[in-house]
Structure 1
Amino acid sequence: MTTSSVDLASLLCSRLCHDLLSPVGALTNGLELLADEKDPGMRQKCFELLEQSAKTSADKLRFFRLAFGAAGGFGDSVPNQEPRALVDALVGNNGRIAVNWALAGDSLPKPAVKVLLNLALIAIDALVRGGTLDIAAEVREGASEIVVRAAGTRIAFDATVGQALDGSLPPADLNSKTAPAAMVQQLAASIGGGIQVHLSPEALVMGAVLPVA
């Protein structure tokens, strides 16, 4: 699979806009309700809606900034607490997913963090009825090793996402849903790494091995 950087960037922007549409729309609705509402109790509910929608929007922007963007402010490595906080915030807004972490060391190379975040995003999308999300990562023997496991009563994993992860998806079939997987695959391949995917009725397991420069 070969996809131009412009096309991939456009699709990632489409994904970001899609995910932000709901919380930003809720902000608009909350402001409209607040403008017309006189009852103190209802006004308080409007403020609560605005607060939650603003938090969700900010959490998603911070997540996508590091998952998709250049992530200015970080060097070659990123402290482990950064991706952990971003995923925990994203899952916290969902409310149906429990996250378990096993991150070795104090930091990970930036490419590994981007792969981890995007694999976590794919796993969260797959847990349509909630479940558990297990994330592990470490650097050993000159490579970053990442494992993301999603387990729940229903795993919704589109086959085209799996194709994007292994690099077999035709460019014509790429869309905003598969773009994060395509970015992960291209990033891993560019540094001599690879992505593995295993799907069973009980769980989706994705792994990555990325050489450290």
Structure 2
Amino acid sequence: MITDPTPTATARPGTRALLACAVVAGPLWAGVSLAQVVGREGFDLTRHPLSALSNGDLGWLQIANFAVAGVLAVAGAIGLRRALAGAPGGVWAPRLVATYGIGMIAAGAFVMEPADGFPVGTPEGTPTALGWTSFAHMAAGSLTFIALIAVCYVLARRFARTGDRARSVLSVIAGTALLLGDGWAMAGGALGSLTLAVGAITAMLWVSAVAAHHLRTA
């Protein structure tokens, strides 16, 4: 395996703290979301997307979760830009992580409408008409997912070029998990919200794992 050179930019003050933000972003969002899956009455991950948690009396928790994770990802992108300066993937990987963070912030700001029995008391099925915030949320989600998928493939190429085959393969797996999960959900496949959640969390955790890798060498 070829040793991945550590650029001198990683010595800049604050780089480690910025990388730590990227490390925390994925696990934080996943942990807070999954805790609500267990604790929120009426929520069923096989029927409801994790974004639906932004509705109801405790909706503020998921809105804050989106916002905080997004800000952490944007900050982490700055750390990755420093850590990868002059290295393969050093331009596009940080840009895509920043885009994913911005998408998360927007997804928190624009809440999708209650649907399919959640929160409790909401009629079953999809609303006959969706408001503009639902469309804005879907656009933000699409931006987030596209950026996450792309950064996983960019990282795969980066690790391949540096001789790190294991991380290259894991990057492809993470990106493909989200690509397939999102595609299945968009196609209306059975358990689509579950496959989307698995794919999104896999990709987010992998980006955090890559940031942790660079944090150790910063």
Q: Give the TM-score of the pair, scaled to structure 2.
A: 0.32
From the two aligned structures, give the one with the greater strand fraction. 1
From the two aligned structures, give the one with the greater helix fraction. 2
Q: Give the TM-score of the pair, scaled to structure 1.
A: 0.32
